[in-house]
Amino acid sequence: MVMGFSIALIVLSLLLMLTVLLHKGKGGGLSDMFGGGMQSSVGGSSVAERNLDRITVILGLLWLACIVTLSLILKFG
């Protein structure tokens, strides 16, 4: 069971990193340093960005739940 949650944690970590890196830069950060600040946003976020936000939040919650579950299994199991 510990092995299953460990593998799930690794997979969720990689997916979470990928979704965070797919986000468009909002300005003032490292994305501006590499040329991300040269684009102009023409009003609001698109449907794809909102869906990416939702996917990122869901993955983050699953990642957190996996960490809590794994720590409880290791402590009490």
- Mean pLDDT of successive 10-residue stretches along the chain, which has 77 residues: 96 96 68 55 71 95 97 94
pLDDT for position 48: 85
Identify the sign of the CA torsion 38, 31, 66, 6: positive
Q: What angle do CA 71, 73, 75 make, to 5 degrees?
A: 65
**pTM exceeds 0.85, yes or no:** no
Q: What angle do CA 13, 64, 56 make, to 5 degrees?
A: 60
Report how far Cα 57 is from the mean position of its chain's Cα atoms. Answer: 7
Quick check: helix, strand or coil at residue 34? coil
Largest CA distance in the chain: 53
